[in-house]
């Protein structure tokens, strides 16, 4: 993809919206949107094939061109680059697509009911580089959350470790982004209690 300046982006939008040269937009941003779709699915740990990515990429372009390019007309360069805005719109489109699915989606492609299993849930990618002692502590922490909290809390905890946003996590637990922020805040308090209890237990020996 050729690196566009802000002037280039303005000219491109003019060509697409006024002159109806949509192919220029597709040529410029196909790879960006395709890669963004792929990464968004990967962050959510959804199993997909190349055809799924192609279909979702086409759906994103349809969103941009629908209603006489209404969405593109609403782009405001005052808030950043066109390419950054496209990435944000594309990521949201993937989330909207997954929200329409019936089965709740969880980390590693699991349903939330899979979290009812015990230590089999201890499969977070970021633990692969942890020291053994840290991995054990993390495992004990997850067990503590599982024992003390509703199931959704463990999903939110795992999503925090995986670097998912509040909106992406909201998709996993079928709640709003605000609800995720509340759970995250509650988790911080719970984790402080876990640390204090662990310290008391260790110093008692």
Q: What is the pLDDT of residue 133?
A: 59
Tens digit of each residue's pLDDT (9 = 90 or more) over 78-136: 878 999 999 989 988 888 887 776 444 433 344 444 444 443 333 334 444 445 556 67
Find, among 13, 169, 17, 186, the residue nearest to 95 by Cα. Answer: 169
Highest mean pLDDT among 9-13, 47-51, 113-117, 160-164: 9-13
Q: How many Å apart are CA 159 and CA 148, to the nearest integer?
A: 18
Higher pLDDT, 13 or 125: 13
Q: What percent of the chain has pLDDT over 70?
A: 79
Residue 134: count of CB within 10 angstroms of its CB: 11
Q: How many Å apart are CA 196 and CA 144, to the nearest integer?
A: 13
69: confidence class by pLDDT, cuts 50, 70, 90: very high
Classify 110 as helix, strand or coil: coil
Q: Which domains does the chain have, with CATH numbers?
A: 6-99 (1.10.1740), 107-203 (no CATH)
- Tokens representing 89 are 């719109």
Q: Is 43 exposed, middle or buried (0-12, 13-18, 19+ CB in 10 A)?
A: middle
């Amino acid at each position: 993809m050729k690196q566009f300046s802000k002037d280039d982006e303005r000219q491109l939008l003019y060509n697409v919206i006024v002159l109806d040269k949509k192919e220029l937009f597709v040529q410029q941003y196909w790879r960006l949107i395709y890669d963004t779709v792929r990464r968004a699915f990967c962050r959510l740990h959804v199993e997909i094939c190349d055809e799924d990515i192609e279909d979702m990429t086409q759906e994103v372009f349809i969103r941009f061109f629908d209603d006489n390019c209404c969405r593109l007309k609403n782009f405001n360069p005052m808030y950043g680059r066109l390419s950054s805005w496209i990435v944000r719109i594309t990521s949201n489109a993937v989330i909207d697509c997954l929200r329409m699915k019936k089965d709740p989606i969880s980390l590693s492609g699991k349903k939330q009911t899979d979290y009812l299993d015990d230590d089999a849930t201890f499969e977070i990618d970021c633990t692969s580089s942890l020291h053994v002692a840290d991995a054990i502590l993390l495992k004990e922490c997850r067990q503590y959350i599982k024992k003390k909290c509703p199931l959704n809390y463990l999903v939110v905890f795992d999503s925090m470790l995986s670097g998912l946003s509040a909106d992406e996590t909201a998709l996993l637990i079928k709640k709003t982004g605000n609800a995720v922020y509340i759970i995250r805040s509650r988790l911080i308090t719970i984790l402080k209690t876990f640390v204090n209890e662990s310290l008391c237990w260790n110093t008692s020996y």
